[in-house]
Amino acid sequence: MKSVLLSVVAGLILGALIHIASILTIPWAAENNAWSRLRGLAEINEVRRIEPDASGKSDLPDLDPAMHYAVCHYDLARGPLQIRAPVPRTYWSLALYDRLGINYYVINDRIVGPGELEVWVANKTQLLEIEPEDSENSGTSGEGESKDRLIVGAPRQQGFAVFRLLVPGASFEQTVEQALSGTSCATIILPGAPGAGNG
Partner 1 sequence: MSFFSGGVRALRRIRADSARDWQPWSNRFNLAMALAISVVAGLGGTWFVLASSRGIRAIESGPWRAVIEIGSAQANPYARAIIARQGSAPMLAAELISFTAARDSLGGQLRSGCVYQLRGTQIETRLWTLAVLDSKGHILPADGGRHQITSLDVVREPDGSFEIALAERATPGNWLATGRDHKLSLSMRLYDTPLFANGGLASLAMPEIVPVRCS
CB of 143 to partner 1, least distance (A): 13
Residues 13-42 as b/e (b if ≥16 CB within 10 A, e otherwise) read eeeeeeeeeeeeeeeeeeeebbbebbbeeb
CB of 85 to partner 1, least distance (A): 16
Rank residues 19 and 184 by Cβ distance to partner 1 and give the closer one: 19
Rank residues 79 and 144 by Cβ distance to partner 1 and give the closer one: 144
CB of 36 to partner 1, least distance (A): 8
What is the Cβ-side half-sphere exposure of residue 71, based on CA atoms within 13 angstroms? Answer: 22
* Cα 109 to Cα 160: distance, rounded to the nearest angstrom: 19
Q: List interacting residues with partner 1 (CB under 8 A).
A: 1, 3-4, 6-8, 10-20, 22-24, 26-27, 30, 32-34, 36-37, 52-56, 58, 60-67, 91, 93, 95, 97, 100-104, 106, 108, 110, 155, 160, 162, 166, 168-169
Query: Is 119 within 8 Å of 150 (Cβ atoms)?
Result: yes
Among residues 150, 132, 129, 131, the alpha carbon closest in space to that of 193 is found at 129
CB of 116 to partner 1, least distance (A): 21
